[in-house]
C-alpha cells in the first residue's frame, strides 16, 4: 500500500491542523452507542494497535464521566504501543453534531446529547496535533473509498446499516460535506411515503424500515418471538438463515428498501460503487439478494445500472481507517479548518 499524499502548499500554511507525509500513525477513534474503539493507524491504512471498551451508560453517567472513559482508553492504547509520536487524531462519532466544530449530540449516547465539545476536548488532550472529527457513517464511507471496496473509484456511496442507517458520499474523488457536513445521509431518503414513522419526524425513511431495531419490531408484530424484549437484529438474521418465514420476510423487507434508496442515490449521483457495512450487512445473501432485485427493478437508466453494490471490504474497522484518512489524505477528505 502506498503512503499518504503530501499536503498542498495551502494546507502546509494553515496551521496545526496539517500533517506531513511521514511514518507516524494517526490515533483513530470510533465513538458508538455500544462501544468506544480506538486504533493506531499507519499511513498506508494498516491498523497497528487496537483496543475497545463498552460504552458506559446508566442514569448516573454524566458527560465528563463518559469522556474520562474514552480518555483512559486512548491513553492505554498509546502507552501499550510505546508512546509513539502521532501524526494527528481522527474520530468518527454518531450525530447529530455541529461540523466542523464537532459539538456532538448522539441520539444513542444520552450522556452527550447536549452538545459535548468532543473536538475541543481532544485538542486539549493532544495539543499541537491536527484533530478532525466527522459523522461515524461518513468515516466508514471515507475508509471504504481510501482503502476498501471503493479504492480506485471516484464516485462512492458508503453506508452503515445497523442500529441506524447512515452514509457518506465521495464524488469526483473527494468527500462531499454539503452545507452542514451531513451530505450522503441516505438513511433519510424516503423509500415508502406511506411507511412507518421515523425518529427524525418524517415517515417512510429508509432508516425507519431497515435499521435493526425497526426490523425486529416489525418481525415481532408478524409473530416472530413475540414478547421477547431482548432479541436483536443478529438473532433475526440467524433465524432467517434457518429459514424462519417471518425472519426471511424481514430481511427481504430491509433489502428491498435499501435497494430502492440506492437506486435513487445512483440516479442522482452517478455512482461507481455502493459499499454497505454495519451489523445487518453481515446477513449476506439474505439481505443482498432482495437488495439487488429491488435495485435492478428501479434503476432503469443504463448509466445507473453499472453501479457495483458490495459489502464493505474493511468490515468493522472501516470507520477507524476512515477517521485516520481525515488526517492522512486531507486533500480529498477534509476541507474545513
Mean pLDDT value of segment 169-196: 95
Same topology, domains 9-141+317-333 and 152-312? Answer is yes
pLDDT at 2: 31
Q: Parse the chain into domains and list their residue ranges.
A: 9-141+317-333, 152-312
Angle separating helix axes 233-241 and 212-221, nearest 10 degrees: 60
pLDDT at 282: 87
Look at residue 18 and tell me whether its pLDDT is greater than 60. Answer: no
Count of Cβ atoms closer than 10 Å to residue 67 Cβ: 18
pTM above 0.85, yes or no: yes
Long-range contacts (CB closer than 8 Å, 24 or more residues apart) made by 240-243: 240/283, 240/286, 241/283, 241/286
Mean pLDDT value of segment 290-306: 97
Helix (H) or strand (E) holding 254: helix 245-269
CATH superfamily, domain at 152-312: ATPase, nucleotide binding domain (3.30.420.40)
What strands, in cross-sheet order, belong to the sheet with 156-161? 174-176, 165-171, 156-161, 273-277, 308-311
pLDDT at 120: 98
What does the radius of gyration of the chain's CA atoms come to, in whole angstroms?
A: 20
- State pLDDT tens for residues 137-155: 999 999 999 999 999 999 9
Mean pLDDT value of segment 299-305: 95
Query: Is residue 237 within 8 Å of 228, Cβ to Cβ?
Result: no
Q: How far apart are CA 57 and CA 139, in angstroms?
A: 24
Q: Which CATH architecture has domain 9-141+317-333?
A: 2-Layer Sandwich (3.30)
- State pLDDT tens for residues 257-282: 999 999 999 999 999 999 999 888 88
Q: Is 200 or 4 the better-scoring residue by pLDDT? A: 200
Amino acid at each position: 500500500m502506498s503512503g499518504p499524499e503530501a499536503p498542498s502548499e495551502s494546507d502546509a500554511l494553515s496551521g496545526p491542523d496539517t500533517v506531513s507525509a511521514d511514518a507516524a500513525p494517526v490515533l483513530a477513534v470510533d465513538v458508538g452507542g455500544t462501544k468506544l474503539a480506538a486504533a493506531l493507524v499507519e499511513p498506508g491504512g494498516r491498523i497497528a494497535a487496537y483496543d475497545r471498551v463498552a460504552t458506559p451508560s446508566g442514569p448516573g453517567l454524566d458527560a465528563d464521566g463518559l469522556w474520562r472513559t474514552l480518555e483512559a482508553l486512548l491513553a492505554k492504547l498509546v502507552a501499550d504501543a510505546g508512546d509513539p509520536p502521532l501524526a494527528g487524531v481522527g474520530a468518527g462519532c454518531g450525530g447529530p453534531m455541529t461540523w466542523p466544530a464537532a459539538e456532538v449530540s448522539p441520539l444513542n449516547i444520552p450522556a452527550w446529547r447536549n452538545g459535548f465539545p468532543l473536538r475541543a476536548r481532544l485538542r486539549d488532550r493532544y495539543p499541537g496535533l491536527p484533530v478532525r472529527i466527522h459523522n461515524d457513517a461518513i468515516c466508514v464511507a471515507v475508509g471504504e473509498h481510501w482503502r476498501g471496496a471503493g479504492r480506485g473509484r471516484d464516485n462512492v456511496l458508503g453506508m452503515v446499516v445497523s442500529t441506524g442507517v447512515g452514509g457518506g458520499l465521495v464524488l469526483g474523488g473527494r468527500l462531499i460535506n454539503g452545507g452542514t457536513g451531513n451530505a450522503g445521509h441516505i438513511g433519510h431518503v424516503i423509500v415508502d411515503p406511506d411507511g412507518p414513522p421515523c425518529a427524525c419526524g418524517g415517515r417512510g425513511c429508509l432508516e425507519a424500515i431497515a435499521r435493526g431495531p425497526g426490523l425486529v419490531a416489525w418481525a415481532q408484530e408478524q409473530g416472530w418471538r413475540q414478547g421477547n424484549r431482548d432479541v436483536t437484529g443478529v438473532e433475526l438474521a440467524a433465524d432467517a438463515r434457518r429459514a424462519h418465514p417471518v425472519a426471511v420476510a424481514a430481511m427481504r423487507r430491509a433489502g428491498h428498501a435499501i435497494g430502492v434508496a440506492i437506486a435513487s442515490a445512483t440516479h442522482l449521483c452517478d455512482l461507481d460503487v455502493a459499499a454497505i457495512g454495519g451489523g445487518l450487512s453481515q446477513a449476506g445473501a439474505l439481505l443482498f439478494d432482495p437488495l439487488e432485485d429491488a435495485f435492478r427493478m428501479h434503476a432503469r437508466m443504463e448509466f445507473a445500472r453499472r453501479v457495483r453494490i458490495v459489502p464493505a471490504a474493511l468490515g468493522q474497522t472501516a470507520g477507524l481507517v476512515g477517521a485516520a484518512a481525515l488526517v492522512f489524505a486531507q486533500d480529498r477528505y477534509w476541507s474545513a479548518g
